[in-house]
Amino acid sequence: MAIRASASLEVRRLLGDLESDDTVRREAAIARLAVIGTRAVRQILEHLAAATVTRAPLLLALESIPDPRSVDPVLEALSSEEAAVRVAAIRAARGLLSLPQGTRVLDRLTALALNPGRPGGERAVALEALSVLPARTVRPLFEKLRDDPAREVRDVVAQAGVPVDDPVSELEEAADGWLARDPEALVHLVSRAAGEAPLSTLHRLIEKVRSKESEGRAARRRDWGAVRGALHVALARRASKVALYDLREALERTKDPLPPDYLMAMGLIGDATCLEPLAVAFVQGHAMEDADLWRRDVASVFRQIVEREGLTRRHGPIRRVRARFRNEVDELLGTP
What share of the chain has pLDDT > 90, as a percent? 38
Query: What's the pLDDT score for residue 163?
Result: 56
Domains of the chain, each with CATH number or no CATH: 5-160 (1.25.10.10), 166-242 (no CATH), 251-336 (no CATH)
Residue 109 to residue 311: CA distance in whole angstroms: 60
* 2 — pLDDT class (breaks 50, 70, 90): very low
Q: Which residues touch 109 (CB under 8 Å, ≥6 apart)?
A: 90, 93, 97, 126, 129, 130
24 three-state secondary structure? helix
175 three-state secondary structure? helix
Residue 120 to residue 136: CA distance in whole angstroms: 24
Lowest mean pLDDT across 123-127, 232-236, 287-291: 287-291
The whole model's pTM is what?
0.57
pLDDT at 322 over 90: no
Averaged pLDDT score across all residues of the chain = 86
Residue type, position 92, single letter: A
pLDDT tens digits, one per residue of 216-260: 677 778 889 999 999 999 999 999 999 999 999 999 999 889 999
In terms of Cβ atoms closer than 10 Å to its own Cβ (0-12, 13-18, 19+), residue 6 is: exposed
One DSSP character per residue, 26-95 reads HHHHHHHHHHHGGGGHHHHHHHHHH-SS-HHHHHHHHTT---GGGHHHHHHHTT-S-HHHHHHHHHHHHG
Is residue 59 within 8 Å of residue 89, measured between CB atoms?
yes
pLDDT tens digits, one per residue of 44-54: 898 888 876 77
The values of phi and psi at residue 124, to 5°, are: -65, -40
- C-alpha closest to that of 213 among 263, 171, 244, 179: 179
* 165 — pLDDT class (breaks 50, 70, 90): low
- C-alpha closest to that of 224 among 260, 169, 184: 184
Q: What is the DSSP letter of 194?
A: T
pLDDT at 1 over 50: no
Residue 303 to residue 266: CA distance in whole angstroms: 12
Query: What's the pLDDT score for residue 6?
Result: 66
Query: What's the pLDDT score for residue 213?
Result: 81
One DSSP character per residue, 108-129 reads HHHHHHH-TTS-HHHHHHHHHH
The values of phi and psi at residue 32, to 5°, are: -70, -40
